[in-house]
Structure 1
Amino acid sequence: MIKKRNAINKVIGRPFKRHSKIGQAPGTVIYLGKRKDEKFEVTFTHFSPEEYTEISMERPEAFVPAPGNNGVNWFNIKGLSNTQEVDAFGRSFGLIPLTLEDIVNTDQRPKLDYFDDYLFVVLKMIYLDDTNNINVEHVALVLLRKSVLLFQEVEKDVFEGVRERLRGSFGRIRSRLADYLLFALLDAIVDQYFIVMEHVGNRVEALEEKVYNHPKSDTVYEIQALKKEVLELRKNIRPVKELINQLINLDHPLISEDTRPFYRDILDHCNEIQDTIDLYREMSMSLMEIYMSNMSNKMNEVMKVLTIMASIFIPLTFIAGIYGMNFRYMPELEYTYGYPIVIGVMVLMVILMLIYFRKKNWL
């Protein structure tokens, strides 16, 4: 059965990724993504109102324990394909195997899990690369009492603004607890959704104008690609609203009351993004109908012209056929002006038919 599924997915160009997890025990840490050559690296950041420390390391055994009782620790772990290092690092913080399994499961739907000692959040980091292509990366966050663990697939991310605020002590972030750092990271991810939605909106408008004014045979493939992209974005973004709503309503000691209003701000953004992406979904689906309608109208225009031309030539062909018969005795054959009169009658018939078609708005 697995071989058959792999053959089918090979034909349609989509590899069957989950076959490696079939038969494995729950909690088995198996990476399902495509970023298998990424280097494992941990960036440790400790901050408080008075101090800021940032250290990079490549090995779990080089882990720097959280200094002192003050401040917040941010561990940014990159390279999820290194499952052994991720497993060892997560276990050092007391994460259960099921959480570690979801950390490296790049197909995991955005969700929130909560335990006595930590909160676990999974969602997608969506951003535009240098060529304006949309990238979707798997991100997992763990909120502890004084620390936030951020697991991501690749080095590139959307958190540079948060780092700059920490380094420069801008705003309130250095004076807040770990739950506010979690908010700042989630807010950075959701803010990128707006940029991606703006990019998709520009594509929808450009394609809509193309469908109306200059539809071509390959336009249908562009519409299908856009529709597939919008549906993929909707699948990854829509559950984030539910996730943030759960965080707001969750009665857990790791979420302080003075931080909840900030999560409500993210929820407002999620509502706006959801409305936008639902609109683009409807527009992308209607583009195909518009395209088919325009192509049908163009075909009808062509058929109308051909029909008019056929209607004009039918009586002319009838007259030419009459006088093309090989009978010896025909009244008009010996008439001196017979030929120009017949040609004149034909021209007059064409003129009268064109006038008639024009009055009927067929031309």
Structure 2
Amino acid sequence: MPSRPSWTNVRPTPVSAPTPKIPLPAARAIVDCAVYVDGARLPGRYTHRSALAEVRERGTGFVWVGMHAPDEGQMQDVAETFGLHELMVEDAVHAHERPKLERYDNVMFLVLRTVVYVPHDSVATANEIVETGEIMIFVGPDFVITVRHGDHSELATVRTSLEQNPERLVMGPFAALHAITDHVVDSYLSVIQLVEQDVDGMEELVFNPRHAIAVEHIYLLKREIVELRRSVTPLGLPLLQLTQPAGGLVPKEIRRYFRDVRDHHTIVAERIAEYDEVLSSLVDAALAKIAVQQNTDMRKISAWVAIAAVPTMVAGIYGMNFEYMPELSFHYGYWTVLGAIATVCVGLFALFRRNNWL
């Protein structure tokens, strides 16, 4: 008899510990870091620490650090250098924030939602129309830090355009804040012009009598408009706050520029609200169109059922197998009944056709 194995001497397989995550340096998330003095960019390459030290040693100018999707460790390194509040750091890492403006002592924190139009052949076949991203902006007395989330939220063109305009850069960090905000709001204008074409195309499809549009396509477009509204409309309050003299952080000249940005934002918000109302009306129109089509189909079905009921009734009567029934012994009885059925059916068809039921 074979001996049973002894489990007392079997050692459990050691469970491997999870591989520790190697922290990445903040430089991996920094896209660009520059020092601006008297409206000009200083030559050379800087880290975020050396750039801030250069500005504070000179006592003039400001630092602009651009970051893309930093992790918690990378953002914490930058936050310790520039003295950012931990709540701002948390928002910058995890993203998915609504547009807002907050102030922590002498540092202003602005959240912007970016939008980009997704090209497609037709609104009836599109799965996505707008794509969103985020830009977080930290503005202090001598620095600007931008944190981007999303592949389409690049700011290289904004930085280049501002560097070619030294008289604006002389105004300090809030000049960069205005340039970024103006760029984002201008992108809103470009997107809604393209979305307007989709709304107009959907309107033509709904009211085209020869085209059957699925309500799901309208729901998709309305969902994208809702996403666009959530990204754009809440920015109105932060822009209003940036145009107010309360707080004293934003220079008077920059507040004038922000008024122009706010006017553009108001136009965008009104257009989005208009598209939302149009799509709600299109949903009602499409549902009414479906109801009319269903009513037409039911009339056709009812007409054919009425026509089919005639031979069914006659066949049912003569199928009762009674011995004494009319016309059973008549030589032409079968053909007479068939002729009567055909006459009645043709008459019903002509009647329903004249009343537009068939």
**Residue 99, structure 1, aligned to residue 88, structure 2:** yes
Counterpart residue number, 2:213? 215
**Residue 118, structure 1, aligned to residue 85, structure 2:** no
How far, CA to CA, are the matches of 1:135 and 1:56 in structure 2?
Answer: 34
Counterpart residue number, 2:18? none
Go from structure 1 to structure 2 and tell me whether the alpha carbon gap of 1:260 and 1:121 turns closer, same or farther (over 3 Å shift): same
For 1:247-281, what per-residue CA distance to the aligned partner results, in whole angstroms no more than 9, with x for missing partners?
A: 11142333222222221111112212212222333
- Is residue 201–residue 280 contact of structure 1 (8 Å, CA) maintained in 2? yes
For 1:34-64, what per-residue CA distance to the aligned partner results, in whole angstroms no more than 9, with x for missing partners?
A: xxx994115223446773346666x644545
**Residue 141, structure 1, aligned to residue 131, structure 2:** no
Counterpart residue number, 2:8? none
SS in 2 for 1:251: coil
How far, CA to CA, are the matches of 1:167 and 1:328 in structure 2?
Answer: 108
TM superposition shift of 1:233:
2.7
Go from structure 1 to structure 2 and tell me whether the alpha carbon gap of 1:162 and 1:55 turns closer, same or farther (over 3 Å shift): farther
What TM-score does the superposition give when structure 1 sets the normalisation length?
0.73
Counterpart residue number, 1:21? none
How far, CA to CA, are the matches of 1:307 and 1:130 in structure 2?
Answer: 45
For 1:65-103, what per-residue CA distance to the aligned partner results, in whole angstroms no more than 9, with x for missing partners?
A: 32745555422223321x233223233223333333333
Go from structure 1 to structure 2 and tell me whether the alpha carbon gap of 1:38 and 1:279 turns closer, same or farther (over 3 Å shift): farther
For 1:263-301, what per-residue CA distance to the aligned partner results, in whole angstroms no more than 9, with x for missing partners?
A: 111111221221222233334445554444444433333
**Residue 246, structure 1, aligned to residue 241, structure 2:** yes
- Is residue 245–residue 252 contact of structure 2 (8 Å, CA) maintained in 1? no
What TM-score does the superposition give when structure 2 sets the normalisation length?
0.74
How far, CA to CA, are the matches of 2:273 and 2:282 in structure 1?
Answer: 14
Go from structure 1 to structure 2 and tell me whether the alpha carbon gap of 1:178 and 1:306 turns closer, same or farther (over 3 Å shift): same
Counterpart residue number, 1:153? 149
**Residue 318, structure 1, aligned to residue 307, structure 2:** no
Go from structure 1 to structure 2 and tell me whether the alpha carbon gap of 1:351 and 1:129 turns closer, same or farther (over 3 Å shift): closer
Q: How many residues matched?
A: 321
Which shifted more, 305-314 or 269-278?
269-278
Go from structure 1 to structure 2 and tell me whether the alpha carbon gap of 1:63 and 1:85 turns closer, same or farther (over 3 Å shift): farther
Where do residues 188-207 of structure 1 align in structure 2 (5 Å cutoff)? 188-207=183-202
Which letter does structure 1 place at the counterpart of 2:67?
I
Unaligned runs of 5+ in 1: 1-36
How far, CA to CA, are the matches of 2:305 and 2:196 in structure 1?
Answer: 45
- Percent identical: 26
